[in-house]
């Protein structure tokens, strides 16, 4: 059964086509549509075993983007399926499922309405997912769609860990609380990590570190999410590429007041201008920061030390919350490729039973 997986951003569509019934869930193709709604857009299509294909033209909306993806997938030269009929289902990554979706869900009118109602607390993410669902309704009518939420895995977090110490009425009125994100990834790597480490997943204490452009750490207790570092939005927790992570909220209100910023401007400040980019003025990409670090740039050294240090802080915190830890898993673009990060984060944790193998770590690095 061939499934199309979509991850829609406000001006992008990331896709993969997977044959679920082949021997090992075979990837057939993947690609990226970018700059939807801008003067000129791009489609980059990578069929497995064939030459990649690129297209540059205006792509006014997500429906047009999906149509172009379908054309690429069924193309005689760079296609991977013979007709659209072969796509039996579409799975969508949706950032925010709120408290409505503790699990993945078949899409119906009720699902769409709930996702739409969540646009209020996820204005940067959910509207794009709805665009993707509507586009598939048009381009692949009748094909079942499933929504898989970044937040679902974290719906098992207990109130003591998800509530903020704010007046209770804001939880009641607006459902302001910690939600957590990257849930699909944390769940996957916790389970795979347990297999790799020979642990009984349902009776274990695992800390998963998904460190990519965004990053978060999760405490997985007996197979369920128990706490996580992102919060009401993906802003909280770790120092990231452009996000500040954990910060005293009063520093934000002070800056906003002093600089005469609107709430929208403050939001942009915290989400797009902060993190390692904000600290260094160089880049949001850790490879650029590594380069500057190695050149002795003091702000790159500070930013990288903060970035690594904060991951270690969450490991200590979650070990204390769970009464110990059996397994620490690293994943994500930086987690899978940065030897320095993993070594730094795991150093000094011998007091809680961590013994890092530098040889095993070396070579599992940036290519």
Residues near another protein, by CB under 8 A? 159-161, 163, 165-168, 309, 312-325, 348-353
Phi first, then psi: give them for residue 60, nearest 5 degrees: -65, -30
* Shortest reach from residue 350's CB to another protein, in Å: 7
Structure letter (DSSP) for residue 66: H
In whole angstroms, give the CA distance from residue 349 to residue 335. 18
Sheet strand arrangement including 215-221: 224-228, 215-221, 205-211, 327-331
Name which of 251 and 352 has its Cβ closer to another protein. 352
Out of 19, 61, 150, 227, the active site residue is 150
Name which of 134 and 224 has its Cβ closer to another protein. 224
* Shortest reach from residue 356's CB to another protein, in Å: 13
Q: Is 326 a catalytic residue?
A: no
In whole angstroms, give the CA distance from residue 118 to residue 349. 40
In whole angstroms, give the CA distance from residue 12 to residue 69. 12
Name which of 2 and 315 has its Cβ closer to another protein. 315
Closest C-alpha among 148, 164, 152 to residue 99 = 152
Name which of 12 and 216 has its Cβ closer to another protein. 216
For the chain, the residue count is: 367
Name which of 161 and 271 has its Cβ closer to another protein. 161
* Shortest reach from residue 157's CB to another protein, in Å: 12
Q: What three-state secondary structure class fits 264?
A: helix
* Shortest reach from residue 354's CB to another protein, in Å: 10
* Shortest reach from residue 226's CB to another protein, in Å: 11
Residue 7 vs residues 210, 217, 299: alpha-carbon distances, Å:
18, 22, 34
In whole angstroms, give the CA distance from residue 201 to residue 294. 39
Positions annotated as catalytic residues are 150
């Amino acid at each position: 059964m061939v499934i199309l997986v979509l991850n829609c951003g406000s001006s992008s569509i990331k896709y993969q086509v997977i044959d679920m019934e082949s021997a090992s869930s075979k990837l057939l193709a993947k690609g990226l549509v970018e700059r939807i709604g801008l003067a000129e857009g791009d489609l980059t299509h990578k069929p497995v075993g064939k030459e990649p294909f690129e297209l540059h033209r205006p792509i006014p909306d997500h429906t047009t983007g999906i149509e172009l993806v379908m054309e690429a997938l069924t193309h005689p030269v760079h296609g991977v399926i013979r007709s659209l009929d072969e796509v039996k289902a579409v799975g969508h990554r949706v950032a925010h499922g709120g408290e409505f979706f503790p699990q993945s869900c078949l899409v119906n009118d009720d699902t769409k309405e709930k996702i739409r109602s969540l646009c209020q607390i996820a204005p940067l993410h959910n509207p794009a997912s709805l665009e993707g669902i509507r586009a598939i309704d048009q381009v692949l009518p009748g094909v079942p769609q499933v929504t898989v939420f970044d937040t679902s895995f974290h719906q098992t977090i207990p109130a003591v860990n998800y509530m903020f110490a704010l007046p209770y009425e804001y939880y009641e009125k607006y459902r302001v609380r910690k939600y957590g994100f990257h849930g699909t990834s944390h769940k996957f790597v916790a389970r795979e990590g347990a297999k790799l480490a020979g642990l009984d997943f349902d009776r274990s204490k695992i800390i998963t570190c998904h460190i990519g452009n965004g990053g978060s750490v999760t405490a997985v207790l007996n197979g369920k999410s128990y706490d996580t570092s992102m919060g009401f939005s993906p802003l909280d927790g770790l120092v990231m590429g452009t996000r500040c992570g954990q910060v005293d909220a009063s520093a934000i209100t002070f800056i906003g007041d002093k600089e005469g910023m609107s709430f929208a401007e403050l939001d942009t400040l915290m989400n797009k201008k902060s993190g390692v980019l904000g600290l260094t003025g160089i880049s949001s990409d850790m490879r650029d920061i590594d380069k500057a670090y190695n050149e002795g740039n003091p702000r790159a050294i500070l930013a990288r030390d903060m970035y690594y240090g904060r991951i270690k802080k969450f490991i200590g915190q979650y070990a204390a919350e769970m009464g110990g830890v059996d397994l620490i898993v690293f994943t994500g673009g930086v987690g899978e490729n940065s030897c320095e990060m993993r070594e730094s984060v795991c150093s000094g944790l011998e007091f809680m039973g961590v013994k890092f193998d530098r040889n095993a770590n070396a070579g599992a690095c940036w290519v």
